[in-house]
Structure 1
Amino acid sequence: MTTKRNQIIAQIEEQKKNPNLKLKLKERTEYFTNLLFYTLFDTDTEVEKNIDLLEKTFEELIDLACWETEKPCYKLWESYLEALPEILEKLNRDAEAFMKSDPAANSIEEVYLAYPGFYAIAIYRLSHELLKFGLPLVPRLMTEYSHRLTGTDINPAAEIGDSFFIDHATGIVIGETAIIKNNVKIYQGVTLGGLYVDRKLRNVKRHPTVEDNVTIYANATILGGSTVIGANSTIGGNTWITSSVPENSIISNTAEIKIKKVV
C-alpha cells in the first residue's frame, strides 16, 4: 500500500508542471477585494487603519503574482493608492445613475448594499486601474470573484465611461476590448462579445463600442470589434446585432407574438 501511495504521489508531482500556480493568490485577492470595498464605502471602517492593511495585503499579492522580478511591481501601491479617490468619485456617480434609472431603488444606501450591478461595476473599476500598471492576474481574479458573486462578467480591460447603470446584473458579459462610453444602461443577459473565438485575435479589438446615452435591454447580443452602437440609441430585448447602428436609432426584435383567448 505504501509503495502504491508513493507512486501516486510521484505521478501527481510529475504532472504539476506549473510552478507559479498558487491558489493562495486567489484567496488573498478576494480578501484584498473585500478590504477595498469596505475601505471605500463602509461608514464604520477606519480609512487610515485599512489603508495600512491594504498595503500589507497588496505586498503579499505582489510576492505571489509578480513572477518577473525585474518588473517594478513594488512601486505600484503608491500609484494605485493615489488613484482611489478618483475611482470612488466615479463610483458615486455610478450609484447616482442607479437612483435616477431604477424606480425600485428606495435609497442610495440600498444601491451600495443590495445591488449586484453596482458591486460588479465597483470591482471592475478597482481592477481596471490595477490592470493599467501591467499586473494582469490580480485584476482578473478580482473581476472573476465579482462574477461569481453577481453573475456579471466584466473583463477588467474593458473601457467604461461615467454614470454606468447595470440592472439586475445576472448573465451580463462585457468582453476584454469592449468600449462603453458615458450614461449607458444595460439590462440582464446582455452580451458585448466577439463574433468568434480565435487565439490569433489576441490584442485585436473584437468587442463592440457603445456610444453615449445608449440603453440596451435584456438578452440583447451585440458582437464584433467593428460594431458601434451610435449615441442616444435604444437596443430592444432579444436582438442579435453584428453590424453598426446609427445614432438616435431604435432597434427591436420583430418576432410576432400571438395571444389567443381560450373559451
Structure 2
Amino acid sequence: MNRKVNSLERKKIQIIDIIDSNNLYKLKNYIKEINISLKELNNNNFDLLIYAIEHFASIDIIDFIIKQCQYETLNYSIYDYTDRKIYYNNGYSQESYYGIFKVPLFSSISINNFKVANLLIKNCADINFIIDNFYVIRSNFKKEFCFGDIVHYLNIFNLLQSDNLKYILNKGFNINIVNTGIISELINDKMENQLSLINTIFKHYIFDNDFILKLLHIYKNSQSLSVKQLRNIIFTEKRKIEIKDSYYNKELCKKDNEVLKLLMNYDSRIQ
C-alpha cells in the first residue's frame, strides 16, 4: 500500500512540475506514458484544478484538466492544510493556522483571472456557490464560522477588490446573500477600499438599469405620478438592500464620515 502511495505521490510531483512549466504538450504525453487518470491525484485536501489555477496555468491546461478529471460538478470545496493565509476580523489581521477552504471559482476570482473564471462558469460553476460549514482558524485555535459565499470569502482574506467585486456582481450574485451581513462586515473591517466596495454594491443593485427602464416606461406612456407615488417607488427600490440600525455604530457616527453619508443616502427609512 505504501509503495502504491509513494508511486502516486512521485507521479503527482512530476505532473505538478509540468503544470508549473505551462507545457500542455508535455503534460499530455506524460499522463499517456504513465497511464494515469488525473482525477486519481485529487482528494479532500488537494485538487489539481485548484492548484493549476492558483499557479497561473494557461487556459488550455485548465481546460484540459477539467475534461480529464471528469468533475461531476465544479461547485465543490477542498480543505488545503498546507496553505496559510492572513484573514481579517474587524479590521485586525489574524492568521489562519490550519489551512483554508478552496473552491475553483473562488481561487480564479481571488487572483482576478476572469478568463479562467469565465471558463469555469461556462462549465456550470456557480457564482452563488456557498461553502458548507465554512470557517477559519483564529489565533486562539478556535474555529470561527462564517458565511461561505464568495464575497465573504474574499473579504476575510483581504482579496476583495473593486474589479473582482464588479465581476462577481455582474455574473448574477444573489442580492439575498448581500443581505446576510456583507455591508456590515465591510463597515467594520475599515479597509482602505471600504468606501469603494460598499458604493459598488449599492450602485449595482439600487437605481440600476431595471429601475431606470421602469421610469422611462412611465415617462414614455405619459403616466403622471404624485410626489407620494414617486417616493414610494424610490422607497421600494432602496429597500432591496437592508440597512440596519447596527450599521450606524458609534465610531461611524463620531465624525463626518463618507461611509456614513453613503449609508444615509441609500437607507430607505431616510426620505
Give the TM-score category using the shorter length. under 0.3
| TM-score, length-scaled by structure 2 | 0.27
Structure showing greater Rg: 2
Which protein is richer in helix relative to its size?
2
Greater length-normalized contact order (CA 8 Å, ≥ 6 residues apart): 2
Which protein is richer in strand relative to its size?
1
